[in-house]
Structure 1
Amino acid sequence: MTDPEMRARVPNRRRWYHQLYVWVLAGMALGAATGLLAPELGRSMEVLGDTFVSLLTMLLGPIVFCMVVGGIATVANLRQVGKVALRSIVYFEVITTIALVFGLTVVNLVRPGDGMGVDAGSLKVSSEVAEHAHAGQSLKWTEYFTQLVPDNIVGSFAEGAVLQVLFFAVLFGIALAVIGEPARPVARGVESLSRVLFTIVRLVTYAAPVGVFGAMAYTTGSFGTATIGALFKLIGTFYATSVLFVVVVFGSVLLLVGLNPLRTLWYFRSEILLALGASSSEVAIPGIVRKLENVGVSKGTAGVSVSAGYSFNLDGTCIYLTLSTMFIAQALGIHLSFGEQLLLLAVMLLSSKGTAGVTGGGFVMLTTTVSSLSLIPVSGVMLVFGVDRFMSECRAVVNALGNAVAGLVIARWQGETTAADMTAIMSGHREGLVTEDQGQGAERPDSVPPSPVAVRSGT
């Protein structure tokens, strides 16, 4: 094979200093250093992170709507959409249950809260925690289902309620498919709007290093190393458990569908880094969907599985819930029997999915779990409130990665592509399926910036 032929077959690679993830890493490092060396300056950088988050949050609802409607409208057989949804739910329930059991097992073995001897009566609930507690306690079990249906779809778009927008988008897409040919202009309009939105996302994404710098500077400037040291064992246990979960569970799942875990992690590295820097798993929604489509996952499968995953497949949050809840009980000297722990586990299976549209994210989920039963005083959540921000970054990464893996697994389950084709595209030996002509950026593993849509929940 001649050199020109080789150059034609192998995609061009950008120099390392042209890669967005390199600049994101630099922004994270510089932000952490700024916060530690000049705390007041670091705290003042919060505006950069907040502005970046706001720039991207405005796109969340429309992007979810367009990608789900566009995916369903292109499916000739609606039964296929039902299969994707059913298989996604089955997969989500299995993996999140494993995550909860995983975290519960580790926290019982390591017992990071033992010996603290904290008196529950000495814990004063701050106004911010009280607000989160009220949000969690106000959720009745029926609201886990009623919050799925929006009272006002315009309001759902404005608030970025992903689950409600997803519900409306599925109905809208099914309606387009049922109407058929007369609705084709509407479907083409949605597709065109999707291209415009992804172009906006691609442009805004180039500000990611600045936004990540501001978020990291504020975090380290506000909490510093002293706060981390106070509960270092809990944080270390959580990070170690999350890494172990990714290696054992995600690694096993990827091997079962014929994919190399390390290559898959590298393929989604930009999304992982932005989730870490922005402390939000939702930063990766558009980027993950685009990269899934690039390796052969259909629009319908990518849109439905990933969007639903951000409400039903929060693996990092599940690990966080079990570790934090049991840490609080251990710190307060409360012994929970095996039966009581199983009861907490059952509540977590529900609470980890029921607060998708509630401000406060993972911490609200924790408060909901603690307050739903009388086993642990609600004031105990104050023990982890100070370091929740540090743990939110790790759970955001696991959540984002979990939904990327879910999209790959569901696609393989559907028989939409082969492991060999996915591997060839991920490794850069073959061009991907998403091009600039589709308005979503040239999707190459080493050159494509992620497309974040961020919220500060860390869920």
Structure 2
Amino acid sequence: MSLHKSSGVLILLAVLATQAAILIAINLLFPGTVGDPMMLTSRWLGLVAVVGYCLKRASLTTWIFGSMLIGTAIGTDFPEVATNLKVVSQLFLKLIKTVIDPLIFGTLVVGIAGHSNLKQVGRMGWKSLLYFEIVTTLALLICLLAINISQAGAGIELPVGEVPLQGTARTWQEVILHIFPENIAKSVGEGEILQIVIFSILFGIGLVLVKDGKKKQVMLYFTESLSEVMFNFTRIIMYFAPFGVGAAIAYTVGEMGLGILVNLFHLLATLHVALLAFLVLVLMPIALLLKIPVIKFLKAISEPVSIDFGTTSSEAALPKAMEALDMVRTSVNVIGTCLATSVIAKWEGEFGLPIVENPDLILQGAEFTTEMPHATKN
């Protein structure tokens, strides 16, 4: 398409989007002024403009945010259809979860066995673990303070039976025992990521100790190939990300009404304030100290962040995040920082969203210190 034609298409799309925005604004300021059929038409004309813009940009992040708008419109205008779209988002999450376990296994084994120097791996390991625990604790502290100050979701009433139940607290002995797998097949089946990590680390160390170089190389080639295949598998699944994210938003709006978005945006604003505080107070000093290209890093994680937000699942964003970090050629410390930021997203999903659904679950005082160790183990 020539430059002249492209400019004409963009102008047309801008006009459609502006027209829809004006009509929606008039209807909000003066309810009843614009009839429902006209509002419906203008809204979907605006969405046509959004689709045109997405086609022009051809970016996964753009498509994901565009699908959120389309999902919101479907949930508002066709709630009966929207409530049946939950299966689409669940299908996307299931596909993502099939990638996580073999991807973690392959990358960890290659990372450990590829060095062939257990002393170096050990030094790197304890430093990374110490770094991760400190930064993660700071991330959780910021998030806990933010959600308790904002009180996001206060006043929402869920239908009877949908209020999440509080589980029984684990003792520290149970927490430690839960980290180690008793059956790797059971760990994979139940999605116990930390148990899979422990198994992969021990497997990698065992591979380093193999004396026969030929046998060792065969297994190393296998795990390298497994990682590469899983990254390609992830790229295929990511083509379905806009559908999964859009369906999740449509189901939420169709099931709970458009008003739920106000509380979700309140939660989103709280999340962004927490992320900004974490960025300024924790991430930036570390990045400057280690001379990390922050702008390049932030661009690389933009897609994983958008996937995480749309699906409210950090697991869905993990494969893409690992691929992005590999492209940036980051150090272990940067990976630790990314994991720490993902803890904020994971905490918002596992703790923040239940708080939105049940404001009585807001943590108070000493409960901060009792919940943080359980959260950091994730």
TM-score where L is the length of structure 2: 0.71
CA distance in 1, matches of 2:343, 2:219: 33
Pick from 128, 135, 140: which aligns with 2:171? 140
**1:289, 1:302 within 8 Å by CA — same for their partners in 2?**
no
Is residue 2:203 matched to residue 1:172?
yes
In the TM superposition, what whole-angstrom CA distance separates every residue of 1:260-301 from its partner, at most 9, and x where no partner exists? 534421222121211122221122322222232333347xx4
Is residue 2:79 matched to residue 1:39?
yes
CA distance in 1, matches of 2:239, 2:356: 39
Is residue 2:105 matched to residue 1:62?
no
Pick from 225, 243, 250: which aligns with 1:217? 250
CA distance in 1, matches of 2:185, 2:101: 10
CA distance in 2, matches of 1:306, 1:160: 23
| Residue of structure 2 in register with 1:183 after alignment | 216
| Residue of structure 2 in register with 1:152 after alignment | 183
**2:137, 2:376 within 8 Å by CA — same for their partners in 1?**
no
CA distance in 1, matches of 2:376, 2:363: 27
Higher mean Cα deviation, 167-176 or 255-264? 255-264
Q: How does 1:329-344 map to 2 (within 5 A)?
A: 341=365, 343-344=366-367
| Residue of structure 1 in register with 2:7 after alignment | none
**1:289, 1:306 within 8 Å by CA — same for their partners in 2?**
no
Higher mean Cα deviation, 278-287 or 66-75? 278-287
Equivalent AA in structure 1 for residue 202 of structure 2: L
Equivalent AA in structure 1 for residue 179 of structure 2: L
| Residue of structure 2 in register with 1:264 after alignment | 297
In terms of Rg, which structure is larger?
A: 2
| Residue of structure 1 in register with 2:42 after alignment | none
Partner SS for 2:107? helix
CA RMSD of aligned residues (A): 3.9
CA distance in 2, matches of 1:261, 1:267: 10
Partner SS for 1:58? helix
Pick from 114, 118, 143: which aligns with 1:74? 114
Is residue 2:291 matched to residue 1:291?
no
Higher mean Cα deviation, 144-153 or 237-246? 237-246
Pick from 169, 175, 193: which aligns with 1:162? 193
Higher mean Cα deviation, 220-229 or 55-64? 220-229
Is residue 2:375 matched to residue 1:352?
yes
How much has 1:106 moved relative to structure 2?
4.5
**2:115, 2:121 within 8 Å by CA — same for their partners in 1?**
yes
Gapped regions of structure 2 (runs ≥ 5): 1-54
Change (3 A) 1:231 1:61: closer
How much has 1:61 moved relative to structure 2?
0.9
How much has 1:196 moved relative to structure 2?
2.1
Q: Percent identity?
A: 28
Number of corresponding residues: 322
| Residue of structure 2 in register with 1:418 after alignment | none
More helix, by proportion:
2
| Residue of structure 2 in register with 1:426 after alignment | none
Is residue 2:148 matched to residue 1:129?
no
How much has 1:256 moved relative to structure 2?
2.9
How much has 1:138 moved relative to structure 2?
5.6
CA distance in 1, matches of 2:247, 2:100: 21
**2:113, 2:220 within 8 Å by CA — same for their partners in 1?**
yes
How much has 1:41 moved relative to structure 2?
1.6
Partner SS for 1:142? helix
Is residue 2:131 matched to residue 1:96?
no
CA distance in 2, matches of 1:106, 1:193: 40
In the TM superposition, what whole-angstrom CA distance separates every residue of 1:20-64 from its partner, at most 9, and x where no partner exists? 222222222211221122222211111111111112211211111
Equivalent AA in structure 2 for residue 270 of structure 1: E
**2:88, 2:243 within 8 Å by CA — same for their partners in 1?**
yes
| Residue of structure 1 in register with 2:28 after alignment | none
Gapped regions of structure 1 (runs ≥ 5): 1-14, 357-459
Change (3 A) 1:79 1:139: same
TM-score where L is the length of structure 1: 0.60
**1:64, 1:303 within 8 Å by CA — same for their partners in 2?**
no
CA distance in 1, matches of 2:70, 2:274: 27
CA distance in 2, matches of 1:224, 1:247: 36
| Residue of structure 1 in register with 2:22 after alignment | none
Higher mean Cα deviation, 233-242 or 177-186? 233-242
CA distance in 1, matches of 2:151, 2:163: 25
Partner SS for 1:259? coil
Is residue 2:132 matched to residue 1:87?
no
Higher mean Cα deviation, 173-182 or 280-289? 280-289
Change (3 A) 1:106 1:178: same
